[in-house]
């Protein structure tokens, strides 16, 4: 008889624990207890099945109990809920949810992978038949069946995070009018407001109603169904169905009741080797607090990538007792929002501010490949860095194509402790259909280097009103044709190519805030002005394009 490995919870982390443990120890006795009816499914694919983009439900089932037993001899028991851990006796106890019978199972090593639960607000009506969350296959089946059996013309999604916007797109794809309600003043909380504004504008273009800055107040119900959603600002939105996508919280109840240490954020506390406060109990996945790679502080990062990799490491440690530290996690994520790809890694500016880091950023607009090659589309790239030493802290990218590979490059740079100088010098692949000789990431790093060296002054677009209130003269450097299509009120128009000849037209008793369409010509204009002695010139990052995006 080999080592007895018991795993609580399947999906990404738990299944990875089990299969890695088996590959390293053919004699181990490996058992998975999974509360739901499915041990391993593609939870990131659930919205796409709801929307009909993924048509075959079975493609979501990554592994089944029979397949895991046939290939790996893993004993998978679905619909078995572990309800207690007896650490002294090294046994778990629980209930077979299919029969109601209790069970016990001894272990030598126990790995907790219970995941996270959807946050459901404590208000009346959340148990209505047309109110849903989306976390597992059972949730997915309930939504899919409800859409199939009912005429759904309108839906309200509470929460404008990644899943909320994915489901919004899925329902729009099925012909449903969608309203999204969000307590914050922006969509996608991990992003900075200026980057989120791009996403919000695109979502509105697709016909989705966005209600930002006002959360859910109550649900109006009749005959067991929600008829309308009432917001904190008093607005009322009628709906045929409601999806709660407010967020998730770690399912740490089992650990708490067993006396295991839990962090301030409610996640199971583990050391760098994924061991809990009991060395014979490890944990992985969405239920644990992990160390953020930027500042080394514990946090919650409920993403599939870390869950799978941590599960693999926990399985290795459980059967070999050879410990190695888990890799740092930067929260790298990407999501499809209609025609946009939205990605982030590391810290945003607001995350850096919360942690007391005096970060700066560089934001650029560039095509994903050579502009002369057909099909070039713009990306907005924002890199965040420490001005003291140039250390990269994070990045956010929004665009239609080329976003995925750029965010992965920054994630790799973060992993290896890279700086803006490293990013500026990276030798990235180039051919006109794929990139540019100076890749957009190189350009973003160049901008950061220039600002760090004091060669240019730039301002965050959110500070426009503050600069105007301080008496800055706006200067529009775009062409006459661009200017004719609209400008920021109060701006003096001098095309960039005329700037040197017309510099005397600029007021000398006021500092200058120059802008173009996206920021590149604004930077050149600011450099020209600095060279002519106007060191008070500041470039407005994002330019008129950003200004228009802020006014939906």
How many other CB atoms are found less than 10 A from the CB of residue 116?
Answer: 21
Query: How far apart are the C-alpha atoms of 471 and 308, rounded to whole Å?
Result: 53
**For residues 3 and 24, is the Cβ–Cβ distance under 8 A?**
no
SS3 282: strand
Query: How far apart are the C-alpha atoms of 193 and 185, rounded to whole Å?
Result: 8
CA 82 to chain centre: 31
SS (H, E, C) 290-358: EEECCCCCEECCCCHHHHHHHHHHHHHHHHHCCCCCCCCECCCEEEEECCEEEEEEECCHHHHHHCCCC
**For residues 346 and 395, is the Cβ–Cβ distance under 8 A?**
yes
Sort 218 into a burial class: Cβ within 10 Å, 0-12 / 13-18 / 19+: middle
- CA–CA distances in Å: residue 482 to residues 449, 461, 485: 29, 20, 5
Q: Tokens in use for 399?
A: 């665009």
Contacts of 240 (CB under 8 A, 6+ apart): 130, 150, 151, 152, 153, 154, 155, 176
Query: How far apart are the C-alpha atoms of 411 and 476, rounded to whole Å?
Result: 36
SS3 373: coil
SS3 440: helix
Out of 44, 113, 355, 516, which one is annotated catalytic?
44
Annotated active-site residue 44? The verdict is yes
Residues making up the chain, counted from first to last: 552
Query: How far apart are the C-alpha atoms of 523 and 513, rounded to whole Å?
Result: 11
**For residues 303 and 331, is the Cβ–Cβ distance under 8 A?**
yes
Q: Tokens in use for 168?
A: 């919004």
Residues with active-site annotation: 44
């Amino acid at each position: 008889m080999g080592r007895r490995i018991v795993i609580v919870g399947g999906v990404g982390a738990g299944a990875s624990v089990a299969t890695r443990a088996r590959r390293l120890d053919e004699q181990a006795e490996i058992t998975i207890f999974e509360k739901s009816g499915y041990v391993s499914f593609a939870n990131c694919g659930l919205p796409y099945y709801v929307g009909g983009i993924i048509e075959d439900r079975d493609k979501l089932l990554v592994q089944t109990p029979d397949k895991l037993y046939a290939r790996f001899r893993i004993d998978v028991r679905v619909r078995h809920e572990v309800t207690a851990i007896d650490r002294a006796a090294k046994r778990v106890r629980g209930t077979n949810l299919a029969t109601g019978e209790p069970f016990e199972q001894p272990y030598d090593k126990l790995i907790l992978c219970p995941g996270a639960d959807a946050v459901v607000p404590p208000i009346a009506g959340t148990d209505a038949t047309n109110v849903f969350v989306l976390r597992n296959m059972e949730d997915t089946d309930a939504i899919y069946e409800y859409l199939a059996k009912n005429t759904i013309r309108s839906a309200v999604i509470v929460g404008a995070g990644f899943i909320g916007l994915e489901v919004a797109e899925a329902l729009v794809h099925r012909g449903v009018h969608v309203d999204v309600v969000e307590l914050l003043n922006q969509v996608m909380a991990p992003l900075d407001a200026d980057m989120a504004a791009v996403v919000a504008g695109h979502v509105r273009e697709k016909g989705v109603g966005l209600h930002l800055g006002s959360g859910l107040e109550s649900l109006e119900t009749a005959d067991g169904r929600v008829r309308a959603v009432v917001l904190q600002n008093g607005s009322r939105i009628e709906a045929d169905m409601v999806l709660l996508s407010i967020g998730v919280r770690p399912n740490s109840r089992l650990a708490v009741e067993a006396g295991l240490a839990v962090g301030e954020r409610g996640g199971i506390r583990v050391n760098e080797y994924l061991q809990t406060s009991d060395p014979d109990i490890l944990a992985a996945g969405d239920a644990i607090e992990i160390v953020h790679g930027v500042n080394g502080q514990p946090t919650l990062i409920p993403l599939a990538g870390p869950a799978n990799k941590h599960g693999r490491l926990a399985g290795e440690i459980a059967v070999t007792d050879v410990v190695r530290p888990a890799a740092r996690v930067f929260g790298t994520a990407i999501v499809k929002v209609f025609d946009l790809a939205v990605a982030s890694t590391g810290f945003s500016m607001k995350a850096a501010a919360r942690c007391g880091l005096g970060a700066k950023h560089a934001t650029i607009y560039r095509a994903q490949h050579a502009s002369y090659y057909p099909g070039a589309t713009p990306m907005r790239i924002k890199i965040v860095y420490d001005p003291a030493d140039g250390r990269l802290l994070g990045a956010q990218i929004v665009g239609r194509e080329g976003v995925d590979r750029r965010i992965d490059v920054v994630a790799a740079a973060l992993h290896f402790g890279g700086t803006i100088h490293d990013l500026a010098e990276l030798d990235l692949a180039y051919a006109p259909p794929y990139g540019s000789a100076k890749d957009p990431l190189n350009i973003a790093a160049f901008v950061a280097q220039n600002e760090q060296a004091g060669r240019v002054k730039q301002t965050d677009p959110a500070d426009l009103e503050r600069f105007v209130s301080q008496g800055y003269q706006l200067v529009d450097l775009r062409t006459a044709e661009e200017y004719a299509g609209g400008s920021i009120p109060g701006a003096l128009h001098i095309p960039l190519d005329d700037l040197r000849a017309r510099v005397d037209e600029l007021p000398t008793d006021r500092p200058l805030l120059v802008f173009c369409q996206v920021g590149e010509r604004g930077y050149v204009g600011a450099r020209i002005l600095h060279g002519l002695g106007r060191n008070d010139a500041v470039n407005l990052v994002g330019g008129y394009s950003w200004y228009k995006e802020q006014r939906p």
